[in-house]
Amino acid sequence: MVRAAVLASGDGARLQAILDAVYFKEIPDFELVAVICPQRGCYAMTRALSAGISAFVVDPELFPNMTSHSMAVANKLKDMDIELVILAGYDVPLGVVPYQFKNRIISTYPALYPAFNDPEDEPVAMALETGLRVTGATAYFSDGDGRVGAVILQRSLEVTPEDTEETLAARLMEECEWPLLIEAVTLYCSRRLSVRGKKVEIKPAVEE
């Protein structure tokens, strides 16, 4: 059984995909132990508690700097014996966490990496501004800076003439990011992922 925790901020929309997967038992050998948020009262915490999942706040404002805050988050994860960390819209720098959970932090990005990979990029808006016909999302292991590291999976999505930033962001989340996140976590829990350098290898499923 893989013990996992989600780091989530804001409304927790990406967190909901994991909570739904837990409710419907979609991910074998997976246990969601806790959700950690940087702000008390955010809707991500409400989602977690409503689903019966323990939720904790590690508030950055209570620490002298982001390094000490990230160390507190890492220590909390270790205290709960967490193996896998899932990022669900977490908007606080990860600091030391990626170094202590190397190749054990999974997240999604609303673009086909390496498109729009600058930290200042707004990938959904830029997809529309540059007139892309096709965009998509990427599931990945976080690198040492908490950004896109080794790519696990990608899924494409057609951009329609009617799309606005809001509709495209919603479609990317529902049609790409949510299913990619569940699939990536499922592959991890089935021990089918291995990382060689910057490349993820997916082992074939074992037939029973």
118 falls in which pLDDT band (50, 70, 90)? confident
Block residue for tokens 């292991």: 141
Q: How far apart are CA 46 and CA 12, in angstroms?
A: 9
Other Cβ atoms within 10 Å of 37 Cβ, number: 26
Class of domain 1-101: alpha beta
Break the chain into its structural domains and give their ranges.
1-101, 107-208
Whether the per-residue pLDDT at 117 is higher than 90: the answer is no
Check residue 161 and give its pLDDT: 96
Phi, psi of 201 (to 5 degrees): -105, 135
- Equal fold, 1-101 vs 107-208: yes
Q: What is the pLDDT of residue 198?
A: 87
Looking at the predicted structure, is the pLDDT value of residue 207 above 80? no
Whether residue 208 has pLDDT greater than 70: no
Residue 151 dihedral angles phi and psi, to the nearest 5°? -80, 130
Q: Across residues 19-42, what is the average pLDDT?
A: 96
pTM of the model: 0.96
CA 205 to chain centre: 23
Does residue 120 carry a pLDDT above 80? Answer: yes
Q: Does domain 107-208 have CATH number 3.20.20.10?
A: no
From the CA atom positions of the chain, what is the Rg in Å? 17
Which amino acid makes up residue 41? G
Res 99: pLDDT:
95
Contact 63, 69 (CB under 8 A): yes
User: Mean pLDDT across the chain, nearest whole number?
Assistant: 96
